[in-house]
Amino acid sequence: MSRSTTSRPAAGAAPAGFRGVLALGGRALPVHAFLARLPAALCPIGTLLLINDRDGIGDAGAVASALWLGQALGGPVIGRLADRRGHRPVLLVACAANAAVLCALVAAVLAGLPLGARMALAVAAGLTVPQVGPLARARWARLAGEDRALLGSALSFDTTLDEVGFVVGPALAGILAVTVHPASALVLAALLILVSGTLFALHPSAPGPVAAAGARAGVRLWSPGLALLFTMAVLQGAAFSGANTGVNALAGSLGEGGAAGLIWAGMAVTSSVAGLVTVARPGSADLPVRLRWTVGIQALLTLPLLAVSGLWGAAAAVAGIGLAVAPHLIALFGLVERTGPAERMGEAMTVLGSGLIVGQALAAAAAGPLAAAYGYRAAFAVSCGAVAASALLGAAAAGRVRFGPAAGDAAGPAVGDVLTRTSAPSEPSRGLPRS
């Protein structure tokens, strides 16, 4: 598949920055997308709180891991179906199924069903997660067309929504568990998925089928560039998980377990600020260069974790790391848009999301026992090692890995062309009504 790499906007293109992003999809799209993806932040902590309250942390960790496993496996499948069938029907089915399974999981826990049954329901809940975040990024790619500056602003804005969600979600889950009921976070997640997920599915920006013909022609998803981005996403997820485990272990060792969530929220706050700055000032650096710089800076900012000995030091170190997180993720997802085939863009975005989840799960399995055996700094070392490996990988790949469609797909259209052509006839190719 071919892709235009020009950075010049087309005639009549919307301005970059907040105004340009809102002009693309209207004000309703980011609202629906934010509320529909909030359950991704509510469900893991909500599951832990509910099951830990009744059955202990062992069962809670097992069920939460099953939820992660299902999401990692189901994400690319949902993305591929959305490409083949269109966002609307796939999301409508996934939202209804996910809400139903979450309610069934709550009922199973409250009824005291065996651990195996609860884990099976958690896997099903993960498999049916609607993947709003990755599919929203695919929509922004379609709406921005060939305007690279506007696309950068849109992806920056979308990543910032993720960061805000991961501040609000865990805090909201904790408040609901204390003030209402331990199951209330999962019930709210089911309600948000059913209502806001449906509104996101029905929004006029939802593209129709784009991959049926391309899939029959054998358009390949994987390329060296996408494999590199996936690996870096796994390492980024591992960095998150190692740091999170270390913060929890440190807070627990000081008898201040409740402070861990507040410390971790500091990263999301600074990352959100960095994302907002990137929206307002997207910059002109080439994305591969930005990817190497941001992960390199993150590697340096992670090192102070190894010297942390108290909660204030941990809070400062974690907040500092956040300054590089959103810019790094923005570069990662921006390169996926350039690298994945247009006919399978939703699947490509969900593959990267699954990489983040896989990395978190793998690092949690390693960092937890290491922290228990050797102290919290061992978990921080996992985080530092993951980011350092990602930085070295990015540097080694410079000039060697091409960020573009897989070889043999050079004749295909650009992402904006494919997604615009296959949308509803009445839908404009650039910008939507401000609904």
Kindly list the domain boundaries of the chain, sorted by start residue.
18-210, 222-410
Work out the average pLDDT over 242-246: 87
pLDDT at 57: 64
Q: Which residue has the higher pLDDT, 247 or 121?
A: 121
Q: Is the pLDDT of residue 405 over 60?
A: no
pLDDT band for position 197 (cuts 50, 70, 90): very high
Q: Which long-range contacts (CB under 8 A, 24 or more apart) does 185-188 make?
A: 185/42, 185/43, 185/45, 185/46, 185/49, 185/50, 186/42, 186/43, 186/46, 186/47, 186/50, 186/102, 186/105, 186/106, 187/102, 187/103, 187/106, 188/39, 188/42
Work out the average pLDDT over 422-428: 36
Question: How far lies 304's CA from each of 192, 234, 243, 294, 317, in Å?
Answer: 38, 22, 11, 17, 6
Distance of CA 325 to the CA centre of its chain: 12
Work out the average pLDDT over 25-50: 87
Residue 223, classified by CB atoms within 10 Å of its CB into exposed (0-12), middle (13-18) or buried (19+), is buried
pLDDT at 64: 81
CATH code reported for the domain at 18-210: 1.20.1250.20
pLDDT at 268: 79
Q: Which long-range contacts (CB under 8 A, 24 or more apart) does 64-68 make?
A: 64/122, 65/361, 65/364, 65/365, 66/119, 66/120, 66/122, 66/123, 66/126, 67/43, 67/122, 67/123, 67/125, 67/126, 68/44, 68/126, 68/357, 68/360, 68/361
Max mean pLDDT among 79-88, 147-156, 216-225, 421-430 falls in: 79-88
pLDDT at 199: 96
CATH code reported for the domain at 222-410: 1.20.1250.20
pLDDT band for position 59 (cuts 50, 70, 90): confident
Work out the average pLDDT over 306-324: 93
Mean pLDDT, the chain, integer: 81
pLDDT at 10: 43
Q: Which residue has the higher pLDDT, 294 or 263?
A: 294
Q: Which residue has the higher pLDDT, 331 or 104?
A: 104
pLDDT at 364: 80
pLDDT at 422: 39
* Proportion of the chain above pLDDT 90, given as a percent: 34
pLDDT at 1: 43
- The Cα–Cα gap between 38 and 42 comes to 6
pLDDT at 334: 81
Can you list the positions of beta strands (E) in 235-319?
none
Q: What 3-state class would DSSP assign to 26? A: coil
> CA angle, corner 43, sides to 38 and 49, nearest 5?
130
pLDDT band for position 363 (cuts 50, 70, 90): confident
Question: How far lies 117's CA from each of 52, 108, 112, 361, 383, in Å?
Answer: 16, 8, 10, 21, 33
pLDDT at 2: 40
Work out the average pLDDT over 263-274: 83
pLDDT band for position 430 (cuts 50, 70, 90): very low
Q: Which residue has the higher pLDDT, 262 or 11?
A: 262
Work out the average pLDDT over 185-189: 95
Distance of CA 258 to the CA centre of its chain: 25
121 C-beta neighbours (distance < 10 Å), count: 24
pLDDT at 158: 82
Q: Is the pLDDT of residue 114 over 60?
A: yes
**Closest alpha carbon to 70 in 14, 3, 1, 123:** 123
- The Cα–Cα gap between 320 and 227 comes to 29
> CA angle, corner 201, sides to 72 and 325, nearest 5?
45
Cβ atoms of 88 and 202 within 8 Å: the answer is yes
Q: Is the pLDDT of residue 12 over 70?
A: no
pLDDT at 285: 60
pLDDT at 17: 66
111 C-beta neighbours (distance < 10 Å), count: 9
pLDDT at 175: 80
pLDDT band for position 11 (cuts 50, 70, 90): very low
- The Cα–Cα gap between 67 and 304 comes to 32
Work out the average pLDDT over 365-385: 90
pLDDT at 58: 73
Residue 429, classified by CB atoms within 10 Å of its CB into exposed (0-12), middle (13-18) or buried (19+), is middle
**Closest alpha carbon to 70 in 359, 358, 347:** 358
What does DSSP assign to residue 411? T
Q: Which residue has the higher pLDDT, 297 or 425?
A: 297
Work out the average pLDDT over 124-136: 92
**Domain 222-410 in the same topology as domain 18-210:** yes
Work out the average pLDDT over 14-22: 66
pLDDT at 404: 59
Type of residue numbered 160: T
